[in-house]
Amino acid sequence: MDCNHEVVYNGLCALCGSDVESSEGQTHINMSHDSRGITVSRQEAERLEKENAERLLSSRKLSLILDLDQTVVHATWDPTVGEWMNDENNANHPATKDIRKFTLPGSHFVYYIKLRPGLSEFLETVSKLYELHIYTMGTRHYAEAVAREIDSTGKLFRNRILSRDESGSVTQKKIQRLFPCDTSMVVVLDDRSDVWSFSPNLIRIKPYEFFVGTGDINSPFAPRQPPDQDTLAKVKPLPLPETKTENEKENLESKGDDEEDEEEEQEDESTRKKALDQQEKLQEAMAQEQQEARPLAQQQSTQDRPLLVDDDRELYTMIEILKEIHQRFYNDEGRYERSKTDGAGSLQPKPDVTALMPAMKKKVLEGVHIVFTGLIPQHQTLSSSAIWQLAESFGATCLPDLTGNVTHVVAARAGTDKVHRAQRIPNVHIVSEAWLSDSTARWKKQDEAQYALPELAQAANEVENPESTPLEFDDEEKSTMQLMRAGPTWVTPIPRPAPRRSCPEKERGNGRQTQRRNPLHLGHSHH
């Protein structure tokens, strides 16, 4: 009987021992957490995932993939943290109670890991509803070290840990790496949407930044505060791919498809290893810089208050969101199962988080009509910007300019033309970008009063004659005005109201000086 080579280990069939790499027409998938040597056929992957789905359904669970850095922990190499931990008289000492420290094999750098507030309760609660996986851009040693700190018994994650050493990519994360055939029961929690290509399975949590200014030490991209030139000089850039000569191109064209695919796979593996080495060297340089520069101590020296503040509550919000997703999924599952046995009704669709979660998000900003100002670069198409797409994914309608339908102006600052014009329109909320960020991160529309631009009230008091005060235009508004000067356009500018003229007779008659109303307050008297 011929073997289908369903399971392969390091190129050899685990069932018959044949050299599968030399066989033709067989595609295998790597879906294991901790070994890049084991692959399975597509058919076997489907069978395994079906078994896994049945097991989860029987225990009424879903799968949850957790990121580590800035999702459930925050890490730094700054030795200042260790000093604050040991000094009970230091003002930052009380905030260090949930900080753990460790070193990794082959490294002398000490890692300081701060657990996000509420993490223990989060893991205990969520593990009853979800089977937990770790997926991190950190190394295998780092992932296992953090897992030991947050799951000391090993019962929550077991061996379900995927690091950058096995993931196959140092810049992107893919659900299909663990669930190649069916993602309908998989939820992802991460502080980055872009690394997941804005997957519908994703819940984006606000980044946890306890060590101020540190960012994500395992980020595949440039850190929020990039290292200086001396640090970057220690890291050699990846070599550019060599240009093939004409003879090499002819030789490549003469090779069969299988041989060409094999060479491409080897090149991809080589590039991946170079990228891993590059990232490791960059991390070492950044760690060395933190050890020497001690950025936390420098920042604390300029402040009178403690630098470390531990008031984050985001994991408690995530508990409620994950509970609701789980409840809705199994409500849909119940309706689906009942419809299969109910001959009178139509068959209900199978529950799928990739449909359920986007539908839930759409309700958050339903009925909200947003205009952005100062937040989208001039060279970028409005609808292609990340903030525009984020708002629309949560149900908002985004508009290029002020109309009668606008309910919110999301502004980078006060003083732009759109902000001034919006102040004359009743019932329009002028809020900072944080309102949109928090509303989408918490899956709940936030109170606009808490996100009003602080400059507006101050500007209204300071500007004696706002009608003669020059306006500040952002890039997108300058572009709009250029179009308006060039000819007719769909943008209709809202004219400024003519200034009210005082009546000298009335002033003399009642003995009081008549003041001109500040147009910044028009339409807001009922707010």
The structural domains of the chain, ordered by start, are 7-52 (no CATH), 61-222+269-339+348-362 (3.40.50.1000), 364-463 (3.40.50.10190)
Predicted confidence band at 389 (pLDDT cuts at 50, 70, 90)?
A: very high
> Beta strands of 45-179 (E only): which ranges?
62-66, 73-76, 99-103, 110-115, 130-135, 161-162
Predicted confidence band at 170 (pLDDT cuts at 50, 70, 90)?
A: confident
Q: Once rounded to an integer, what is the mean pLDDT over residues 301-307?
A: 94
Query: Comparing 428 with 344, which gets the higher pLDDT?
Result: 428
2, 19, 34, 67: which is the annotated catalytic residue? 67
Query: Comparing 471 with 74, which gets the higher pLDDT?
Result: 74
pLDDT over 50 at 489, yes or no: no
Tokens of residue 325, six digits: 């997703």
- Supply the pLDDT for residue 343: 66
Closest by CA to 28, choosing from 272, 261, 271, 276, is: 261
Instruction: Give whichever of 5-9, 355-359, 375-379 has the largest mean pLDDT.
Output: 355-359
Residue 382 contacts by C-beta under 8 Å, 6 or more apart in sequence?
A: 372, 376, 388, 398, 400, 476
69, 78, 151, 417: which is the annotated catalytic residue? 69
Pick the range with the lowest mean pLDDT from 90-104, 141-155, 215-229, 486-500: 486-500
- Supply the pLDDT for residue 223: 39
Predicted confidence band at 269 (pLDDT cuts at 50, 70, 90)?
A: low
Please calculate the CA angle 290-293-297 and round it to the nearest 5 degrees: 95
Residue 69 among the catalytic residues = yes
Contacts by 244-249 with C-beta closer than 8 Å and gap 24+? none
Residue 242 contacts by C-beta under 8 Å, 6 or more apart in sequence?
A: none
- Supply the pLDDT for residue 25: 54
Predicted confidence band at 458 (pLDDT cuts at 50, 70, 90)?
A: low
- Supply the pLDDT for residue 153: 94
Distance CA 527, CA 520 (A): 13
Distance CA 230, CA 289 (A): 9
pLDDT over 50 at 525, yes or no: no
Distance CA 171, CA 274 (A): 13
Closest by CA to 45, choosing from 62, 27, 63, 66, is: 27
Cβ–Cβ under 8 Å, residues 29 and 41: yes
Residues of the chain with pLDDT > 90, as a percent, come to 53
Cβ–Cβ under 8 Å, residues 186 and 175: yes
**What mean pLDDT is reported for the chain?**
79
pTM of the model: 0.74
